[in-house]
């Protein structure tokens, strides 16, 4: 395996996808619900109050902050069901948000689909995908990607939500932006140990 360093210059689009994902979590149309993209409600409220300083810090993250594996695993475990449109009844007040999530996911899946084909090792590090997810995604057609995105409002997850401190630490760091502390370096160091550890697990 080639040496991989977490350099955002290799995947500059990650910054834009992270910005859009945070907007899906914090925008005015986003549901006020516990476990939205796997995030506890109390933490979600903190995130929504963090403001522009947090958004600037997100640009320093050396990896994708949205986790696609749960969505792709749904396809792997039940490909026939994944090709059907979700028809579960949903509150109409969230229809606009759910549409925004699907549109976002189509773009993200298409981007990641191309990335895993050219560099699967880097995709595991930057994008947080298991080998099985990478293989399944690489074989999908563009039509299947669009169909899979129908499930994204319920299957996308914020990355590292299983870690007890990652998101809360990131929010705390964002509040230091008006000090002399290099918050961008702290933000990267917050993510790097988890990124390397997760990459090792996914590679095993």
Query: What pLDDT digit, counting tens, does each position of 63-84 carry?
Result: 889 999 889 887 887 766 555 5
Produce one character per residue of 157-177: b if its CB has 16 or more CB atoms within 10 Å, e if not: bbbbbeeeebbeebbebbeee
**Contact predicate 107/18, CB 8 Å:** no
- pLDDT for residue 1: 38
Residue 94 and residue 29 in contact, taking contact as beta carbons nearer than 8 Å: yes
pLDDT at 5: 47
Pair 36, 152: CB distance under 8 Å: no
pLDDT < 50: residue spans in the chain: 1-5, 87, 89
CA dihedral 100, 10, 110, 82 (to 10 degrees): -90
Please name every residue paired with 1 in a beta bridge, in sequence order, or none if there are none: none
Kindly report the pTM of this predicted structure: 0.81
Q: What confidence score (pLDDT) does residue 84 get? A: 55
pLDDT at site 98: 94
């Amino acid at each position: 395996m080639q040496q991989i360093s977490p350099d955002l210059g290799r995947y500059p689009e990650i910054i834009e996808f992270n910005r859009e994902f945070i907007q899906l979590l914090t925008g005015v149309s986003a549901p006020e619900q516990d476990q939205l993209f796997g995030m506890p409600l109390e933490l979600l409220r903190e995130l929504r109050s963090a403001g522009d300083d947090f958004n600037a810090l997100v640009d320093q993250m050396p990896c994708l902050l949205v986790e696609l594996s749960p969505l792709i695993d749904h396809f792997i475990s039940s490909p026939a069901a994944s090709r059907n449109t979700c028809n579960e009844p949903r509150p109409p007040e969230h229809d606009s948000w759910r549409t925004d999530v699907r549109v976002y996911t189509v773009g993200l899946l298409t981007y990641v689909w191309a990335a895993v084909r050219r560099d699967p090792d880097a995709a595991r590090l930057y994008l947080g995908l298991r080998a099985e997810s990478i293989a399944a995604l690489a074989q999908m057609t563009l039509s299947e990607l669009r169909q899979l995105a129908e499930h994204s409002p319920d299957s996308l997850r914020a990355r590292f939500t299983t870690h007890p401190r990652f998101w809360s630490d990131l929010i705390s760091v964002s509040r230091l932006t008006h000090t002399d502390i290099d918050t961008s370096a702290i933000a990267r160091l917050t993510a790097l140990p988890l990124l390397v550890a997760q990459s090792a697990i996914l590679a095993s």
